[in-house]
Homo-oligomer: A and B are copies of this chain.
């Protein structure tokens, strides 16, 4: 036992550390399963043993407390093992975004000063490409994916072999709860990726609050021990929204899909009886438009939609397929969950259209989160459902700053609030509505036009697959809205820019949009520019569609 000794009369100092979440899981898990692509499955008892072996293996390899181990993998049980073992041994888990450019990947690994890389054999080309430029990595461990014949001998070990050679028991220490547990990088549309980081205490409190938000309020979006969980957000992306920690604490069955393939995902929903997931609108759209969706009973599937705006049109289509959908909101900087757009109990008898309005809002803060909208001097604005300002937060799980970037940290944290860079308003019931990114707001003739409002209205046109509104410099009005639109295949050549403009004007007549909000131009495209995590890349659009400047 390396555990500290306690004198008689000395109370145990209970730290909020990830080890304690796993202990909670093991009391409740019994024989619940953790599944990879329907092909491999093991019990929580096995998970525990593998976590101990992983820590033993990494220690044998030389990974020390405080050092960083970067992981490149799909959503998998191995990644879940890393979520626990690496922080629990006192090291820092870097969840690496393999969708970035190799230059960006090199930057993030070197900037985080990772000592070890664990990577899926599918990503060997990336690892080979970046390896010469990595300045701090000492050891490389390959996870062999499926039947891959990739040669592990060029590296320092193979994941399963490393586990097999390690001991069943690792003596995980009682860490200080403020020990750093995870780090990852967020790419804005400008500058180098920024590193955020989270402590054990933050991840434990985020897990507990999210469990309460999703479990203790009686509503349709619940997530409880009887659910079957499958992430559809990359685990490198803000801890897959923190849900793997919650699922493990609650000892639910967990299903990991590996590489995202719509047919495979739908098959897993059918065969493993998946009931709870989370994803971005693009993934939801991909699933809904796959023919196999019609073969799948989606009526037990609850899914949090985040990353981009869940449009009313998409929510309606999802509900028509029997799904339970609702918005979840957060950022890389916020661990991430800040709010969930779940109906309150007095809405139980509301009709479908009003419920659609509720579930497509940004949401109500989960327990312990405080949200304000503030003016330029950080003075709170009223919660009247109308007055807009920058959205700012307090919660026990917000990143303390950007790693080694004091200047960017000073922009993030001002007057004791984390500044989201989002614009929105809060109503009397506590529902936040984000209306735009501060930098995406279109300023026309002294009025603010919300690009999200424009996109939301157009999403309800039957022909529109997706759309983006941006501001174009204008001599008279300062800026004017331009909308870029992708039509659904079946409407291509049938619906014109003029039809869509007429639709927007109809929204003005119905009082849903101010007259100055109707875009001067609508452009039909085959696809919209996206960032590496699938968000609309408005910076690119503004570059592509620079309007005439006087």
**Residues of chain A whose beta carbon lies under 8 Å from any beta carbon of chain B:** 3-6, 8-12, 14, 16, 20, 23-24, 27-28, 30-31, 205, 208-209, 211-212, 214-218, 223-226, 249-250, 344-346, 364-365, 367-368, 370, 394-396, 398-401, 406, 409-410, 412-418, 429-430
Q: Which B residues are CB-close (under 8 A) to A401?
A: 9, 11
Give the complex CA separation of A8 and B416 in angstroms: 8
Q: How far is the CB of A213 from chain B (nearest CB, A)?
A: 10
A413 close to B10 (CB less than 8 A): yes
- Minimum Cβ distance to chain B for residue A253 (Å): 10
Provide the residues of chain B in CB contact with A11, threshold 8 Å: 398-401, 413, 418
Nearest CB of chain B from residue A332's CB, rounded to whole Å: 15
Would A6 and B416 be within 8 Å (CB), given that A11-B398, A368-B24 are in contact? yes
Task: Give every chain B residue within 8 A of A410 (Cβ-Cβ).
Answer: 8-9
Please indicate the chain B residues that have their CB under 8 angstroms from the CB of A27 in the complex: 364-365, 430
Of listed A208, A212, A418, residue having the most chain B CB within 10 A = A212
Q: What is the bound-complex CA distance between A113 and B259, given in angstroms? A: 64
Interface centre among A9, A31, A215, A429 (most CB of B within 10 A): A9
Alpha-carbon separation in the docked complex, A413 to B6 (Å): 9
CA A30 to CA B28, docked complex, whole Å: 34
Chosen A-B contacts, 13 in total, with CB atoms closer than 8 Å, are A8-B413, A11-B400, A12-B394, A14-B395, A24-B368, A27-B364, A28-B217, A28-B344, A31-B346, A212-B215, A216-B250, A225-B345, A226-B345
A24 touches B216 (CB 8 A): no
Partner of A16, one of B211, B214, B396: B396
Q: Report if A218-B208 is in contact (Cβ < 8 Å); known contacts: A6-B416, A394-B14, A414-B8.
A: no
| Beyond known contacts A212-B216, A226-B345: 20 more, CB 8 A cutoff | A4-B416, A6-B414, A6-B415, A9-B409, A11-B398, A12-B398, A14-B368, A16-B205, A16-B396, A23-B370, A27-B364, A27-B365, A27-B430, A28-B217, A31-B346, A208-B208, A212-B215, A216-B225, A217-B225, A218-B226
Determine the residue in chain B with the shortest Cβ distance to A366.
B24
Q: Which residue of B lies closest to A400 (CB)?
A: B11
CB contact between A216 and one of B23, B205, B215, B399 (< 8 Å): that residue: B215
Complex Cα spacing A395 to B412, Å: 35
Interface class of chain A by DSSP? loop
Complex CA–CA separation, A417 to B394 (angstroms): 34
| Interface residue from B10, B212, B364, B400 paired with A212 (Cβ < 8 Å) | B212
Per a CB cutoff under 8 Å, which of B28, B217, B226, B415 touches A224?
B217
Shortest beta-carbon distance, A16 to chain B, in Å?
7
A23 to chain B, nearest CB (A): 6
Question: Is A344 within 8 A of B30, CB to CB?
Answer: yes
B224–A30 contact, CB under 8 A? no
A3 nearest CB neighbor, chain B only: B416
Residues on the B chain within 8 Å of A5, using CB? 415-416
Q: How far is the CA of A7 from the CA of B255 in the complex (A)?
A: 44
Q: How far is the CB of A409 from chain B (nearest CB, A)?
A: 5
Q: Report how far A14 CA is from B178 CA in the complex, Å.
A: 12
Are A12 and B418 in contact (CB-based, < 8 A)?
Answer: yes
Q: Which residues of B contact A417 (CB under 8 A)?
A: 12
Q: How far is the CA of A503 from the CA of B533 in the complex (A)?
A: 71
The residue among A368, A417, A418 with the most chain B CB atoms within 10 A of its own CB is A368
A250 to B214: give the CA distance in the assembly, Å: 12
Q: Is the CB of A250 within 8 A of B217?
A: yes
Name A346's contact: one of B8, B30, B224, B398 (CB within 8 Å).
Answer: B30
**Which residue on B lies nearest to A393, using beta carbons?**
B12
Provide the bound-state CA to CA distance between A23 and B216, in Å.
17
Contacts of A398 in B (CB 8 A): 11-12, 14
Query: In the complex, which residue of chain B has the Cβ closest to the Cβ of A24?
Result: B367
CB of A398, distance to nearest CB on chain B (Å):
7
